[in-house]
Amino acid sequence: MADEATPEINNLNIEDKVPQTKSTGQIVTPFDVSGGVDESGKLLPVDYDKLVQQFGASPLTPTILERFEKVTGHRPHRFMRRGIVFSHRDLTKILDLHEKGKPFYLYTGRGPSSDSMHVGHTVPFEFTKWLQDVFDVPLVIMMTDDEKYMHSAKIEIEDAKRYTKANAKDIIAVGFDMKKTFIFSDFDFVGGAFYENICRLAKRITINQIRGTFGFNDSNNIGEFHFCAIQSATAFATSFPQIFGTDFKKVSSIPCLIPCAIDQDPYFRQCREHAEKMKYKKPSLIHSVFLPALQGPGSKMSASVDSSAIFMNDTPNKIKNKINKFAFSGGQETAELHRELGGNSKVDVPFQYLTFFLEDDEELERIRAAYEKGEMMTGEMKQRCIAELQTYVTAFQERRAKVTDEVVAEYMRPRPLEWKGNPNPVVAEKK
């Protein structure tokens, strides 16, 4: 976290330029997420529509979802149907490639900052696993232990490395296919072709660009400035000769799709700005929102605040107590009033969590309608949410228990991957 930063989401040299709009006090950078506060000091929810506009990304429209379904033959994931995965950059380029059976890969990552991940962290990974199944393409997962060391006064190198191993187990438990997945720690993997790409980028990114994009100032350490080149270099296929081979010209033309929470977009704006000058393809992105903290919209779950989040190692009982005790409710003051006026599902945290984790659209809609009409009470809503989260976390813990140190080592070993891509590509007509 950059303590003395003065964030401004603006950068004159960037092509994916951030238009000059009036600021609302909303701040979203990789190091700071806040919807801002109103005049009375109340936390405001993050305004995602405004953010997409400010960042210059594109909303995930019904037209794109239709095309996604047509090209992949899969109904869009519930996150896409419900606005949880809500915006993108150049997703259509990836769909065009997939349609033709041309290569691309998936890239996502995690900044390991604690021993256990929370449910909010698993959202982009759940989605990435689904994309890996749908597209049948290689996936690289970057563990930015160097980033966390550089950005935190408290985290030592040994801590960051320990978190990497522990978090890699959590990530593997999401269910990634080992044959198609390479997980790496920056501390271990920087070097060779990857380091060459880091340098190619570092040479092009100026202090000015970083300052503007990340809100850094002269008191940030130089490692924080440099790290942008490291996170971005993973978006180039030539960084992974063991996966894609060493035919530099051919491999240069393989782009990636990056599923990530929207706060990571600033890194990749930098990357996209420079990619073509380096004779690489710009990465495409697909963005998700944050899972709100138990305390309500306007905040996000924090790995360092136990009461803000459901952790993937919480017991069923702990989950129950946290939801009952801390989850912000959109219900009315009294049961009588609630029956009369109904609850507000838009701010109700248990209902928000159900939109993330309950697969069945019709059931979700029944719950929403009953709650808003005052037929369903706050207690019942919490009950439903507790049951769903307990099922999700318990299933995760069962898979996690099977992930041994040897399994982690295999996922993290640089090696060739196996994938098939689109089994029925549309072959371009020969003229």
Q: For ligand TRP, which residue has the nearest CB?
A: 111
Instruction: Give me the residues that bind ligand TRP (CB under 6 A), please.
Output: 30, 107-111, 142, 144, 147, 231, 258, 260, 264
How near is the Cβ of 288 to ligand TRP at its closest, in Å? 10
The Cα–Cα gap between 82 and 355 comes to 7
Contact 118, 301 (CB under 8 A): yes
| CB 140, min distance to ligand TRP, A | 9
- Distance CA(144)–CA(142), nearest Å, equals 6
C-beta of 231 vs 239, nearer to ligand TRP? 231
DSSP letters spanning 173-213: HTT--GGGEEEEEHHHH-SHHHHHHHHHHHHH--HHHHHHH
Q: How far is the CB of 358 from ligand TRP (least distance, A)?
A: 25
Q: Count Cβ atoms within 10 A of the Cβ of residue 156 and give its class: 0-12 exposed, 13-18 middle, 19 or more buried.
A: exposed
User: Nearest-CA neighbor of 288 among 116, 98, 94, 126?
Assistant: 126
Q: Which is nearer to ligand TRP, 68 or 127 (CB)?
A: 127
Q: Which C-beta is closer to ligand TRP: that of 108 or that of 185?
A: 108
Per-residue CA distances from 364 to 302, 371, 382 (Å): 26, 11, 14
In the bound complex, what is the minimum distance in angstroms from residue 258's beta carbon to ligand TRP?
5
From residue 267, give the alpha-carbon distance in Å to each of 229, 367, 407.
8, 38, 30
227 versus 244: smaller Cβ distance to ligand TRP: 227
Shortest spacing between CB 257 and ligand TRP, in angstroms? 10
Q: How far is the CB of 110 from ligand TRP (least distance, A)?
A: 5
Distance between CA atoms of 126 and 295, rounded to whole angstroms? 23
Which of residues 283 and 342 has its CB atom nearest to ligand TRP in the complex?
283
Q: 225 or 328, CB closer to ligand TRP?
A: 225
